[in-house]
Structure 1
Amino acid sequence: MRMADGPPGASLGEPTTDFPHPVASAATFDPDLVSEQGAAIAREAKDGGVSVHLAPSMDMFRVPLHSRAGESYGEDPHLAAAMAAAYTGAVRSEGVIATLKHFVAYNQTRGTGDVEDYFSISEHDVRVGERALREIYYPPFRAAVTRGDAGAVMPAYNRLNGTFCSENRELLRDVLKGEWGFNGFVVSDWGGTHSTVDAAENGLDVEMPSAEFFGDALREAVEDGEIDESIVDEMVRRGLRSQEEIGALSGERTGRDPVRGTDEHFELARTIAEEGTVLLRNDGTLPLDDRLDEVALIGREPETFGNSVGGSDDVTAIRDVGPVEGIENVADVTVTTASPDESEPLAADEGFTYEHYESGDRSGSPIGTGEVAEIAFDGEAGSAEWEGTVTPEEAGSFEFVLTS
């Protein structure tokens, strides 16, 4: 099964249509538009030979600092449920397996634990009561399973009430497969599997991206009598069933002829962007007309759109129009840009010499020395020291920022 990331497009590693993020799609309040979006993305994924689309994301936007909030459908469970069901059903209708993620309560990815998820890290133990689970966190997933006919579900990295979601029996067997009748397969997030016996017995069917716990370890657990072979049979059966439902086993994939980057898809992306945009206040400046000669555009990256928030949403866009270019396309004005973040890597006049130490206080002999153009360290050391001379090109006030 070839898998590809989402959710704002088919992340194939080659150009596809880059649609607005789910948090913008949800702001349209239009499940029909989101359904069209899901179908279009599925067609492009299928065009790339993909049978499993790793989307949609339905993590509740409950924590402001959640680094993957842009991949979610916002903070309202009713709205998120409507969008998730529409997206999932549309993906399925085009002969692609939709993967619901991240099940469940994955809402505060910033910086704890050992599992690295690109720019967000989370092995939090999230403590959630039964009522909150059923009223806030479950509804989007339940809707996507019961109304959207999802073929796969991805457990969250975090623990839920003390147990990793990827081996949480109550979550995967009792609620998902038992109560909701989910008959597809459960696939771990990348590096999100933590055991062999517990994970298999409690509902995980596929380990990604390796076979550290499933594979030889799973076979040996069956041979040693730690796991009944019928459990492995069920794991395999679930994966085959989802593939069969989209025609992958027979070689007959359902849906329209797959296409990438059509005018129809571009127009749909534009419509979603327009419908999901809210103008809070207009003092008469908009729409731009001949009365204006110059426009100031202020933002972190005013000339480009950042198409990834740092999770699994990086899509290589076929066509990309930045804010400056977009304004210049519709109005005869001069666009002046400014960014509140003008920091750049600090370079010394003749480079920095460095010493790395095993100790935490730079005591003892250094374990590494040398010279670098910029201060950037990725390795093993208890402490480090850099030395160099920096001469600004012009006089003024400067701020030095260290990040770790």
Structure 2
Amino acid sequence: MTAPRRISVLGATGSVGLATLDLVARAAPGTFDVVALTARTNAVELARQAIRHRASHVAIADPAAAPELREALAGHPGISIGVGEDAVCEAAAVPADWTMAAIVGAAGLRPTLEAVRQGAALAFANKECLVCAGPLFMQEAARCGATLLPVDSEHNAVFQVFNAAHRSAIRSITLTASGGPFRTWPLERMAAASRTDALTHPTWSMGAKITIDSASMMNKGLEIIEACWLFDLPPEQVEVVVHPQSIVHGLVEYADGSLLAQLGSPDMRTPIASALAWPERMEAPVERLRLDQIARLEFEAPDPVRFPAIRLARDAIRAGGIAPAVLNAANEIAVEAFLAGRIGFLDITASVEEVLALAQADADMPRALAAFEDVFAIDRRARELARDLIGGLSVETRSRNTMS
């Protein structure tokens, strides 16, 4: 890179955003120029990162956090401040050579679209863009000439060993899963799992929502849908294997029997560095992988009885249309309810399955996915259905219904 690469980070105060900025700070001076940073509510951290990286623009989605942000940046008049969801989208549209899209959930779709429309490089950790709006999102990326760089460790791994020039020779891809904290738990114990239990991941340090998704394996289900769109493969060619060591992140099988894999220590800075430096490579402060010290790598099939989320996701991508967006919206509401103590752990996927069934017969649910406004309408209605389903029911009642 001969000139500073202009970068923006959407979701700068989350785990992926902070890891990205950590790599930026470690790079040689003049390598990167941070132009825009956004956050949802964490004004103090957003201001700290903006000052540290001399960002030109910041935006915070929650208006209630605006006074704190303005106070923290009072001595830095060179940093423009935006407030609200529209301001986050405006920050995403600030000209940049590379954007990290790391806003969690469907809330990240609008700003990520703004970044895509720049026609530059988009590194995305927001899988919901492809889950909710896969065909539309890929069409828009192609129309604008954007380069999509996956940041999820599994998709980044496949991206690194996926030979697009010989697509016809690819038999399948495999996404690995850690199995989460409940990999060996019996169903009865999972039914009584607490918030703390579900948030105690054995391998990765992530935000609350994605950690719960890992525990239910809904995260892997969403990744199957993401992979189908990103790599233009049918769900039958996207496989999942549980790998508790989280050393092998993804594999591509070719027609000649070759199975190519990407390995690395379980540290998100590796896939982020891969995307940040693409098409080159850069140093990342991650632990070197020493196979002689690991000594053992284990693989097993996911249990469809204890982790039905993978089946729900496969059914949704096969059904197409509104189903993936409904799946995602219902899951987000169910995870919120679990974290708030209103439902049990097993009720998460049970609620999602019920909402998927309700959506098919709901008169107020849009039936087509012809434009992005349809995606937003489907998302809103699915959330209403999920809230109605969950509302007023006790944890004990929901858990009993799930186990019966």
Larger radius of gyration: 1
TM-score (normalised: structure 2): 0.27
Larger RCO: 1 or 2 (CA < 8 Å, sep 6+):
1
- Bigger fraction of residues in helix: 2
